[in-house]
Amino acid sequence: AAIGIIVFGGGVVNSGSTNVAIEVNNPYIVTLSAFFFASLSTVVILLLSQLKKSLGPSGLVLAGVALSSLFTGGSTLLQYFADETKLTAVVFWTFGNLGSTSWTEILVLAVILLLSMTYFMLNRWNYNAMRSGADTAKSLGVNARAVMLVSMAVCSFAAAVAVSFVGIISFIGLVAPHMMRKFVGDDYRFLIPCSAVADALVLLAADTFGRLIISPVILPVGAITSFLGAPMFLILLIRGGDRD
């Protein structure tokens, strides 16, 4: 999405005595840009997993880190050559900000959320079957490969839309599902909706905290979630939260 902002339009910077607002032009082109690169990274990870059968979860995580560094380097290079307006738009976008989202964008996000949640809930039994392995899922009539590919595409598109509208908000999609797994178990009938509600509550709490802690200055919600999510995620990993 940062590349989309730089290449296709930086937006208008409105500065006042108390706040600075960024309105990014061509938001849907930015969304398509975010979706393209999210899908590209997903395809690369899938190809690596197919070419290197011995590549375990740790290897996939390292591959994701490497791709993240690659995209960050490309984005940084483009920012270096961008003009002041586009650079400012990208910097504020990377902070993560819920306050700059318009009602039209909220409506788009609501529709995307409704459609994606409907898809995931319709496949809840398929996900439960896939937990026992591809062979077991196949014996139950589940095309595990097709379900995985379509699910990853839906996830990539939903994440791309959200990120292009509100910016980068770290750890939201990682911490809450692991927390909910401790309470509701691995049954996706309950894990999917509970994770969605928990994600929303964590994001709301982080945004409220950022607005109140040193009011009237509003801290970026992305920074708050990073401070809260990173240690919590490490604790979950230490306690065995990285198990399937």
Mean pLDDT, contiguous 10-residue spans, the chain (244 residues): 42 36 54 75 77 67 77 80 76 78 86 94 92 84 86 84 81 81 89 92 90 86 83 72 48
Which of 136, 168, 200 represents a domain boundary (last residue)? 168
Cα within 13 Å of Cα(235), Cβ side: 9
- Angle subtended at Cα 105 by Cα 197 and Cα 96, rounded to the nearest 5 degrees: 65
pLDDT digits (tens, 9 = 90+) for 13-55: 333 333 334 444 555 676 677 777 777 877 887 787 777 766 6
Q: Which of 168, 186, 202 is the last residue of a domain?
A: 168
Burial class (CB in 10 A: 0-12, 13-18, 19+), 107: exposed
- The neighbour count for residue 8, using CB atoms within 10 Å, is 17
In sequence order, the 6+-apart residues with CB closer than 8 A to the CB of 31 are: 1, 4, 160, 161, 164, 165
Of 127, 147, 168, the residue at which a domain comes to its end is 168
The verdict on 84 and 177 lying in the same domain is no
Percentage of residues in the chain having pLDDT higher than 70: 81
Model pLDDT, residue 28? 66
Co-location of 207 and 90 in the same domain? no
Gap between the terminal Cα atoms of the chain: 30
Tell me how many domains the chain contains: 2
Helix axes 144-166, 27-51, angle to 10 degrees: 140
Are residues 221 and 127 part of one domain?
Answer: no
Check residue 34 and give its pLDDT: 73
Q: Are residues 70 and 112 in the same domain?
A: yes
> 10 with 112, same domain?
yes
Instruction: Please report, to the nearest 10 degrees, the dihedral formed by the alpha carbons of residues 223, 166, 101, 214 taken in order.
Output: 0
3-state helix, strand and coil shares in percent for the chain, rounded to the nearest 5: 75, 5, 25
Shared-domain flag, residues 12 and 29: yes
Residue 78 and residue 102 share a domain:
yes
- Distance of alpha carbon 156 from the chain centroid: 8
In whole angstroms, what is the distance from residue 13 CA to residue 162 CA?
Answer: 21
Q: What is the CA radius of gyration of the chain?
A: 19
- What CATH code is carried by the domain that includes residue 91? 1.10.3470.10
Residues 128 and 241 in one domain: no
Instruction: Tell me the residue range of the domain where 241 lies.
Output: 169-244
Chain-centre distance for alpha carbon 171: 8
Residues 163 and 237 in one domain: no
Is residue 115 domain-shared with residue 188, that is, in the same domain? no
Query: Do 179 and 163 have their domain in common?
Result: no
Is the same domain home to 154 and 244? no
Instruction: Say how many CA atoms lie within 13 Å of 137 toward its Cβ.
Output: 19
